[in-house]
Amino acid sequence: MWGGRFAEGPSAIMREINASIPFDKALWRQDIAASKAHVAMLAACDIVTDEDAETIIGGLEKVAAEYEADGVPEDWDLEDIHMTTESRLAELIGPVAGRLHTARSRNDQVATDFRLWVREAMEEAIAGLEALQRALVTRAGEHADSIMPGFTHLQTAQPVTLGHHLMAYYEMAARDVSRFSDARERLNQCPLGSAALAGTGFPIDREMTAQALGFAGPTTNSLDAVSDRDFALDYLTAASQCALHLSRLAEEFVIWASQPFGFVRMPDTLSTGSSIMPQKKNPDAAELVRGHAGRIVGCQTALMVTMKGLPLAYSKDMQDDKPPVFEAASLLRLSIAAMVGMVADATFRTDRMRQAAELGYATATDLADWLVREADIPFREAHHITGAAVKLAESQGKALDELTMDELTNIDSRIDERVYKALSVEASVAARKSHGGTAPDEVRKRVAQAREALGMN
């Protein structure tokens, strides 16, 4: 491509370190689409003839058909997807292929291709997250009344409903969707026409190519357009945050599926066995979602460090932007899909959850609240009295509501019969009807809003 200036070809090491075709061939569709838009614009602006443009577009379509059928050939001498396509185009249509690269550089070309690719990855993540939200909302609706222990420090804290717990992840997924959509909007400007770094002297129409490729408009600074990769970092940041959420949900499944908890039976389809222990059913998919989160965060870190300290405009370091994005995207796609399956198909063992809520003194706060409300005792004192009741119950291996009236009045004479109503796990969750609380009616309200937002009604 640049033989004119060179007396000698590149060394073997140079060829190998330079070649991005092994991974950037993933951009071939975007590269063809951007080239077609570019040459159509060149013709509309009378920079190439209509006839040449037609020949080039026909040739690009042929190249695309070949890639579709046989894959993209990997020739290190052709470095990357851009030169691979251009060289095949020249083989197919002859020297007229050389007109395609008028008013363009690989720098604006790759920035455009990569934006198109990342834009699709963002859309894919949003679609996946919406599927996850639908699964969560469906299961939450089924379990708006199912009582389980809520935890702090992974110690039983207060009873909550499983519906409420699942809807917490719905909210996280909703914020993840909004992060990807924000990022998509910021990304959606077209670098094509920025050329190598300074723009071009040809009378091009950047609005036209931007529009043809579905961008809101052209970028407004050529140096920025060819050398920023913050759109990719926005994607990786949103992906990392999303992966952390998925990992936390996966971790809950791992804990819930463990025998001592026994809150959930994992779908067979997302579990594996052991080669030695016949009884085993391991939550490998959940564990891998947890593991993948680490790798996705690693991809984000990799690109941040690549970009740190690069002067304007393009440097070859930026070729390394693609592998972490491609890797994160495929890990995220799998992670979301695995969690959709897990949420949709897990069997929740509501009997076990309820039993655990009852065994863990989860309604102790309700006893303290009752003493405040009904006996006008300051909360700190009520907390102390309740502590004594829990201590007594624990020493006798009883639940709080199994303490007799005598036992309770011995602790504090202001307690009366009505307290038992407050001590059931049902009463506890039903009482928590503050906005966003765990009361079944509150959960149902939020589920209904979510279904509406997802168009599920």
Regarding 80 and contact with ligand ARG (CB under 6 A), the answer is yes
What is the C-alpha to C-alpha distance for residues 241 and 244, in angstroms, rounded to an integer? Answer: 5
Regarding 232 and contact with ligand ARG (CB under 6 A), the answer is no
In the bound complex, what is the minimum distance in angstroms from residue 319's beta carbon to ligand ARG? 4
| Interface residue with ligand ARG, options 78, 110, 122, 177 (CB under 6 A) | 110
| Interface residue with ligand ARG, options 88, 106, 139, 164 (CB under 6 A) | 106
Q: Pick between residue 102 and residue 271 the one whose CB is nearest to ligand ARG.
A: 102
In the bound complex, what is the minimum distance in angstroms from residue 113's beta carbon to ligand ARG? 9
User: For 349, how many CA atoms within 13 A lie in the half-sphere containing its CB?
Assistant: 17
What is the C-alpha to C-alpha distance for residues 120 and 81, in angstroms, rounded to an integer? Answer: 18
Tokens of 340: 């959709």
Regarding 194 and contact with ligand ARG (CB under 6 A), the answer is no
Q: Pick between residue 17 and residue 359 the one whose CB is nearest to ligand ARG.
A: 17
Q: Pick between residue 80 and residue 252 the one whose CB is nearest to ligand ARG.
A: 80
Catalytically annotated residue among 153, 395, 434, 435? 153
C-alpha dihedral over 387, 388, 389, 393, to 10 degrees? 100
Site string for ligand ARG, 36-75 (x = CB under 6 A): ----------------------------------------
Regarding 24 and contact with ligand ARG (CB under 6 A), the answer is yes
Which of the stretches 102-110, 166-174, 231-239, 270-278 binds ligand ARG when contact is defined by CB under 6 A? 102-110
Regarding 34 and contact with ligand ARG (CB under 6 A), the answer is no
Regarding 107 and contact with ligand ARG (CB under 6 A), the answer is yes
At which residue do the structure tokens 């947890």 appear? 290
What is the C-alpha to C-alpha distance for residues 62 and 368, in angstroms, rounded to an integer? Answer: 76
What is the DSSP annotation of 58-101? HHHHHHHHHHHHH-----GGG-SHHHHHHHHHHHHHGGGGGGTT
| Interface residue with ligand ARG, options 23, 180, 256, 314 (CB under 6 A) | 314
CB under 8 A, 24+ apart: contacts of 435-442: 437/164, 438/150, 438/159, 438/160, 438/161, 438/164, 440/144, 440/145, 440/161, 440/163, 442/164
CB 173 within 8 A of CB 136: yes
- How many residues touch ligand ARG under the rule CB under 6 A: the total is 10
Phi, psi of 215 (to 5 degrees): -90, 155
In the bound complex, what is the minimum distance in angstroms from residue 450's beta carbon to ligand ARG? 41
Strand partners for 189: 217
Cβ-Cβ contacts under 8 Å for 193 (sequence gap 6 or more): 103, 104, 108, 199, 200, 204, 206, 209, 218
In the bound complex, what is the minimum distance in angstroms from residue 215's beta carbon to ligand ARG? 20
Q: Pick between residue 318 and residue 389 the one whose CB is nearest to ligand ARG.
A: 318
> Catalytic site residue 20?
no
Regarding 318 and contact with ligand ARG (CB under 6 A), the answer is yes
> Catalytic site residue 383?
no
Regarding 113 and contact with ligand ARG (CB under 6 A), the answer is no
Counting Cβ atoms within 10 Å, is residue 323 exposed (0-12), middle (13-18) or buried (19+)? middle
Catalytically annotated residue among 178, 258, 274, 330? 274
Which residues in this chain contact ligand ARG in the complex, by CB under 6 A? 20, 24, 80, 106-107, 110, 314, 316, 318-319
Active centre residues (catalytic):
153, 274
